[in-house]
Amino acid sequence: MSNPLDAVFAALADPTRRAILGMLLEDDMAVTDVAEPFSMSLAAISKHLSVLAEAGLISRERRGRVIWCKLEPDALRTASVWMQSFGQFDPLDLDAFERFLEQEMNDEDD
């Protein structure tokens, strides 16, 4: 993908990749440790890790025979800044909206 932000959001679109990022929040992990909780092949996990690495969300480093994965928060920070630009809108008050709908439905019944 030519736009780094597109790559970040595409990577975040998959629940497995989001789970992997959550695991890496704790500490760096070996690829085999990342794969352990998932019921998929090591090759499938490696593909997910490649997508995350291409988006800049993780880095991988070989230490001896083991490949370690590390969270790279800068790519997430860029996405967060982009999303915060939409914070100029007032948050939706769901309780007030529910009261409004109840009032409207009561008015229709009368």
Identify the CATH number of the domain in which residue 43 sits. 1.10.10.10
What is the predicted pLDDT for the residue at 37? 95
Q: How far is it, in rounded angstroms, from Cα 73 to Cα 52?
A: 12
Nearest Cα neighbor of 67 from 77, 59, 75 is 59
Percentage above 90 pLDDT, the chain? 60
Task: Give the range of the structural domain holding residue 82, as residue numbers without chain letter.
Answer: 4-109
Q: Is the pLDDT of residue 78 over 70?
A: yes
Which range among 5-14, 35-44, 77-86, 97-106 shows the weakest confidence by mean pLDDT?
97-106
19-64 per-position pLDDT tens digit: 999 999 999 999 999 999 999 999 999 999 999 999 999 999 999 9
CB atoms within 10 A of CB 36: 12
Measure Cα distances from 44 to 24, 32, 40, 78, 90 in Å. 18, 12, 6, 27, 41
What is the predicted pLDDT for the residue at 91? 62
What is the predicted pLDDT for the residue at 3? 84
The number of distinct structural domains making up the chain is 1
